[in-house]
Amino acid sequence: MHDKEGAAWLNDRAQQALQFALNAGAADVWVSATRQREVDLEMREGTLEKVQEATSRGLSLRVWVGGRYGAHNTTDLRADRLESFVRSAVELTGALEPDPDRQIPDPSLFEGRSDVDLELLDPRVSELTPEQRVAWLRAMQEEVQGTPKLISANSSVSSGQGMSVAVSSNGFSGSTESSSIWLSTSLTLQDEGDKRPEGGFWAGGRHVSDLPEAAAVAKQAVQWASERVGSGKGKTANTTMIVHPRAGGRLVRGLLRPAQGGSVHQGRSMWRDRLGKAVISPRLEVIDDPLVVRGLSSRPYDNEGIAAKPLPLLRDGALHNLYLSTTYAKKLSMTPTTGSPSNQVITPGKRDLEALIGATSRGYLVTGWLGGNMDPTTGDFSYGVRGFAIENGRRAGSVGEMNITGNLLSIFERLAEVGSDPWPYGSLRSPSLVFENVQFSGVG
């Protein structure tokens, strides 16, 4: 995306908006300008059904006027329209109620920005030809042909490249460029009666070299979809639960989502009054690390300009830090950390999924979730599950239409082991997880 609307062009627009706001009477200003290009191709049963390319740009403006704060957005970056938009934004902000806790971040928080090359941009992504993308699609589609009971199969190649520039009235200046590339295949199969089990797999990363072979993506999709054919309810039991790395993220996200300063301040977090207290198993250790090379949520700074640095979250059974923007840090009389998650990295254990299954005499392996909900204020949850029964260290049959219920703090108190196999295709790198005494509702 190195063209006339590249980083220099975005920076010019951001600087213009900053000056327009100061001229209109704003006391402080924060401007972010972005540009994103996305390319998506889809193929179904060997026929190319979708070819889409879209480029978007936008500017977000945060202004402080007489103790009042306002956030405004526009997609029209033409100079004359931009000045009108900014004047209107400053005027509207001046009519809002004062909020003394809403202040522009202290410049000291911008200091110490890492100079590590995070390798967020791969020029090869923008250089991919339509022929290469179609070749990947055909490789995935050919791999699924001949799958027993196949009703339909869909494959896609998606990529994105983006750049962002941010400037502020109190000295912040920064820019980032990033890319991503993804391959995916999903299948629908025929089962008994009107059952239509579905399954799929997707893989990708920041760089083209992060991709597995296209045929391997489709092969995994076929395996996961086929495993759901013939599944039925397992027996009701209070037993061991092993959670597949791809599925583990949902449980850990549920645990960490309420670790937000805003949720704690508003009384909507199960971590309220528990910060620093040991309430779960010490086997789960999590760090928020924005400096993972090629990480899907890596960044040199957050959306307030706070310099990126690793943030310890869970250790020794306790939550040691909250995600704290400058606003909620002030409301809670705490020190700002960062207002939003980046890469949430779990310290791995010593055994992978197969070894964990082999060491389990009886239980269930959860490979996916079928709906459900969680209350972030209490941690109470109810999730539908699918996966396999485990008997004598082996998968003993596919199961579905089962539920687990309980409380996340309670279930993580019974975390018995963490696997050595973190899921690579997400910002939350969860390995296999083993829990004891989990209540499954099925039949019998």
Rounded to a whole number of angstroms, the CA Rg of the chain reads: 25
CA distance 337 to 362: 43
Contacts within 8 Å (CB) and 24+ apart, 48-53: 48/134, 48/137, 50/156, 51/130
- In the chain (444 residues long), the average pLDDT of successive 10-residue segments reads 70 97 98 98 95 97 97 94 97 95 96 96 96 98 95 97 97 97 97 89 97 98 93 94 97 97 97 97 98 98 98 98 97 97 98 98 96 95 96 94 95 98 96 97 88
DSSP run (H or E) holding 144: helix 130-144
| The Cα angle at residue 10 between residues 8 and 16, in degrees rounded to 5 | 105
Residue 441: strand, helix, or coil: strand
Give phi and psi for 155, each to the nearest 5: -125, 150
* Continuous H helices in 332-437: 353-358, 408-413
Residue from 236, 235, 242, 240 nearest 363 by CA: 240
In the chain, DSSP finds a helix count (H) and a strand count (E) of: 10, 17
Q: Which residues contact 4 (CB under 8 A, 6 or more apart)?
A: none
CA angle 199, 425, 128 (to 5 degrees): 95
What contacts 192, CB < 8 A, 6 or more positions away? 230
What is the chain's length?
A: 444
Residues ≥6 apart with Cβ < 8 Å to 418: 283, 284, 346, 347, 348, 349, 431, 432, 433, 434
Residues sharing a CB contact under 8 Å with residue 283, sequence separation 6 or more, in sequence order: 349, 415, 416, 417, 418
- Say how far apart CA 110 and CA 113 lie, in whole Å: 7
Strands of 282-431, DSSP E:
286-288, 311-315, 318-319, 344-346, 362-374, 380-391, 394-407, 415-418, 428-429
C-alpha closest to that of 137 among 52, 216, 42, 39: 42
48, 20, 42: which is closest to 33 by C-alpha? 20
Where are any strands of DSSP class E within 190-316? 198-205, 237-243, 286-288, 311-315
Sheet containing 344-346: order of strands: 318-319, 311-315, 286-288, 344-346, 428-429
pTM across the whole model: 0.93
End-to-end CA distance of the chain: give it in Å, rounded.
60
- The pLDDT assigned to 192 comes to 87
Encode 66-86: b = buried (16+ Cβ within 10 Å), e = exposed: eebbbebebeebeeeebbebb
Question: Residue 344, Cβ neighbours under 10 Å: how many?
Answer: 22
Cα-Cα-Cα-Cα torsion 208, 214, 219, 221, nearest 10 degrees, comes to 60
Q: What is the pLDDT at residue 5?
A: 64
With beta carbons less than 8 A apart as the criterion, state whether 367 and 248 touch: no
List the one residue out of 111, 114, 74 whose CA is nearest residue 92.
74
